[in-house]
A and B are shown apart, each in its own frame.
Chain A
């Protein structure tokens, strides 16, 4: 972290024009400007201007690993270009140039501050405008907000980064809008399984009832035929026949014949 520079009065704010200077925001809201050659000057800008500066933080190593590129002045130029591009899409700001975007206090992290000045370079543009230009919604909006996030996505893509690795601080984080489907998924699956179980239960119960009915019919039918058989036998012969010969099931014929066939040991 660089120690605070000695503060001098700037003779002319037009020094900012050439793009050779960068602005540092001090804790009490004053700006200090220092030239690349090491000369420092300060400009007591209005306090509001300090509030219009944004801190940006990039995490190149985290995002890209070995493919991380070095952050140099060319990258800074690209960043200024992206911010200027975003500003141009704001109504009344179509004339924003790259030189209107000022970066300062670039650290090793990589992090820096930037402000966007108006064409006259007298004051900085309000934070709200810059925010809306980069399309950082203050409040999460549900549903697709692709058009709103377009500029932010383009800035991210220019650097191969995403919202987590290219952070604009001092701005409340955009929380991912919750995606609520109209019918919760779990109810659908529940409904399917519920119906399957009910259908299977009904099938089992019905087949059980049918089996019961068949069993109830079965013995009663058998009893009828047996009675008929008995009656016919009695009627036909007049003499009650030996029940053992007539009634099936009381004697296992297989065993009877076996005993007769096999010679006893």
Chain B
């Protein structure tokens, strides 16, 4: 007996679910980096163009497929065309890889959140070394925030070959993260629908608070100006405004800017994982998913831009703070070496006094000179990073210098947690919906047990990322598990709906379902532009990987206190290949499987007849 498919209690829950899935950590730590790399303001042009040409159409397509087929990704694609069941399986495999490594970020967010309730914050001071005569060597060479991340949180090994043991502290946090995710998805849409109110709205509250705080910080304007100004290499002749404009125009012609904009839109919306199909399958058939697709994509992009303003004001604060401390150190050094009057040397007269001292006391000055650092605001700002480095090293460094830093730290990591959990809800929905739809599995096990099993297996495998070399494996999964396969999956999806299922047929389905006619714009995008874009992205990335040859990674060298580049060992390369292959091969294998099964059936019926 078929019980009715669970539905979202209100369409608002569906919108919030999509928003909390799409608005994730990438909006906070990837977009600001790209924005700054490609010239700030000028990056918005390719970004918005890609949003309208690629993001919105593909998002609408996925939502429409899910709402129409009312099944998870495997069932939906099988219904579209039996040979496409492999597409659904590939989505599930990619989602499984993603949920395995993504929850580790939530574990780290928990770790930092728990450590934020201390005074002083543990990443603001270096610990003492063994015989208490000075600070720990690694911490001195790097910074206290880097030390806390690499040594205390990850306890990272020097290379990927040295796996080390499972660290029990991050492992505990990972188990807690998975328990929390299980709690949220336990009852399906009933529980998920309530949780998404929090995971969608709370990050915005925190971002607004941070915006107000960030803009009022000393030095925030430096960061914001940096976001929009030309980078080095452009001679500033004539008016600065003109050269700024010239630079921005130049960036528009840079193909990398367009490619990165397209990639960012693509991955930020979470297309191809099957999560959107899963969420939409719980919709009422008459739901206006076109409106929702537009709303979700616009909110996602606005959040990225909003988050980058916050990020850059924090950057500016951090860079200014470091720059001023550097200057103060130089002032103290000179004051002490030359016994000048305390307070005589200030930032404004530093250069003149330096030149005076160099001429008046040349021998003594040359002794002191090697210790005088060249302080530069530009070089502080240029330490732009993305990914976990931004969230856990740069932001924590800025937070430790704010007043009431514990409060800001708690708020920030709580926001990261909300963003991460929101995305995890989508990832797990992508895995669980096809499993619970399958009659075979759901007849044996109730929904709660299936969710529990999936969480347990993912958690157990995810413990690999808590080993000493875990962060290197994390980077492998982050860089390779989803990028190429997703492009292929979405390409096949778009082509399948347009050409295999038939655009006219799909159009009439949608009209019957929602009551609205399909706008010509969507048809044009689905049929032509978006697939072409995806093909070009795919070709670009493939050729990039092939041309680069050996893949390399950044390893933390404890003796130097910085990252060094190393080559992946052969078995790591094999695992990368396996990751990519295991998901992409599902598509042809699924088609082949269906073909063989049909052949066998035909033979059976033929032999019977």
Interface pick from B171-179, B278-286, B523-531, B584-592: B171-179
Contact mask B175-201 → A, CB, 8 Å, 1/0? Answer: 010011011001100010000000000
Minimum CB–CB distance for A210 against chain B, Å? 12
Chain A residues at the B interface, C-beta cutoff of 8 Å:
1, 57-62, 68, 107-111, 139-140, 172, 175, 177-178, 185-187, 189-190, 193-194, 197-198, 200-201, 204-205, 208, 212
**A201 and B117 contact, Cβ closer than 8 Å, known pairs A57-B336, A190-B172, A208-B448:** no
Looking at A107, A187, A201, which has the most chain B CB atoms within 10 Å of its CB? A201
Nearest B residue to A142 by beta-carbon distance? B132
Q: How far is the CA of A140 from the CA of B342 in the complex (A)?
A: 29
* In contact, A190 and B128 (Cβ under 8 angstroms): no
Nearest B residue to A193 by beta-carbon distance? B176
Contact mask B109-139 → A, CB, 8 Å, 1/0? Answer: 0110011011000000001100011110000
Contacts of B336 in A (CB 8 A): 57, 109, 111
* In contact, B132 and A204 (Cβ under 8 angstroms): no
Q: How far is the CA of A198 from the CA of B175 in the complex (A)?
A: 11
Which residue of the partner chain, among A57, A108, A175, A194, contacts B179 with CB atoms under 8 Å? Answer: A194
Contacts of A189 in B (CB 8 A): 114, 117
Closest 7 CB pairs of A and B: A61-B343, A186-B114, A107-B339, A109-B339, A61-B342, A108-B341, A189-B114
Contacts of A193 in B (CB 8 A): 176
Contacts of B133 in A (CB 8 A): 172, 175
Provide 22 A-B residue pairs closer than 8 Å at the C-beta atoms, listed in order of the A residue: A1-B361, A62-B342, A108-B340, A109-B335, A109-B339, A110-B342, A172-B133, A175-B132, A175-B135, A185-B117, A186-B118, A187-B114, A190-B114, A194-B179, A197-B176, A197-B180, A200-B183, A204-B183, A205-B186, A205-B448, A208-B448, A212-B446
Q: How far is the CA of A189 from the CA of B110 in the complex (A)?
A: 10
* In contact, B132 and A59 (Cβ under 8 angstroms): no
Q: How far is the CA of A51 from the CA of B446 in the complex (A)?
A: 82
Q: How far is the CA of A182 from the CA of B128 in the complex (A)?
A: 18
* In contact, B342 and A60 (Cβ under 8 angstroms): yes
Nearest B residue to A181 by beta-carbon distance? B118
Q: How many residue pairs bridge A and B at CB < 8 Å?
A: 80
Does B338 sit at the interface, judged by CB under 8 A? yes
* In contact, A201 and B186 (Cβ under 8 angstroms): yes
* In contact, A204 and B117 (Cβ under 8 angstroms): no
**A204 and B342 contact, Cβ closer than 8 Å, known pairs A139-B132, A140-B128:** no
Q: How far is the CA of A53 from the CA of B391 in the complex (A)?
A: 50
Q: How far is the CA of A61 from the CA of B332 in the complex (A)?
A: 12
Contacts of A175 in B (CB 8 A): 128, 132-135
Nearest A residue to B112 by beta-carbon distance? A186
Q: How far is the CA of A140 from the CA of B187 in the complex (A)?
A: 56
* In contact, B342 and A201 (Cβ under 8 angstroms): no
Q: How far is the CA of A201 from the CA of B176 in the complex (A)?
A: 12
Which residue of the partner chain, among B176, B180, B187, B338, contacts A1 with CB atoms under 8 Å? Answer: B338
Minimum CB–CB distance for A183 against chain B, Å? 12
Contact mask B340-361 → A, CB, 8 Å, 1/0? Answer: 1111000000000000000001
Contacts of A108 in B (CB 8 A): 339-341
Contacts of A58 in B (CB 8 A): 342
Minimum CB–CB distance for A67 against chain B, Å? 12
* In contact, A197 and B183 (Cβ under 8 angstroms): yes
Q: How far is the CA of A60 from the CA of B176 in the complex (A)?
A: 52
Beyond contacts A187-B114, A208-B446: 7 other A-B pairs, Cβ-Cβ < 8 A, are A1-B338, A62-B342, A62-B343, A190-B172, A193-B176, A204-B191, A212-B446
Nearest A residue to B113 by beta-carbon distance? A189
Contacts of A172 in B (CB 8 A): 133
Nearest B residue to A112 by beta-carbon distance? B339
**A204 and B186 contact, Cβ closer than 8 Å, known pairs A175-B128, A175-B132, A186-B115:** yes
Contacts of A201 in B (CB 8 A): 179, 182-183, 186
* In contact, A111 and B117 (Cβ under 8 angstroms): no
Q: How far is the CA of A58 from the CA of B132 in the complex (A)?
A: 26
Nearest B residue to A169 by beta-carbon distance? B336
Q: How far is the CA of A140 from the CA of B132 in the complex (A)?
A: 7
Q: How far is the CA of A131 from the CA of B172 in the complex (A)?
A: 48
Minimum CB–CB distance for A161 against chain B, Å? 11
Nearest A residue to B115 by beta-carbon distance? A186
Q: How far is the CA of A201 from the CA of B341 in the complex (A)?
A: 66
* In contact, A178 and B128 (Cβ under 8 angstroms): yes
Contacts of B191 in A (CB 8 A): 204
Nearest A residue to B178 by beta-carbon distance? A197
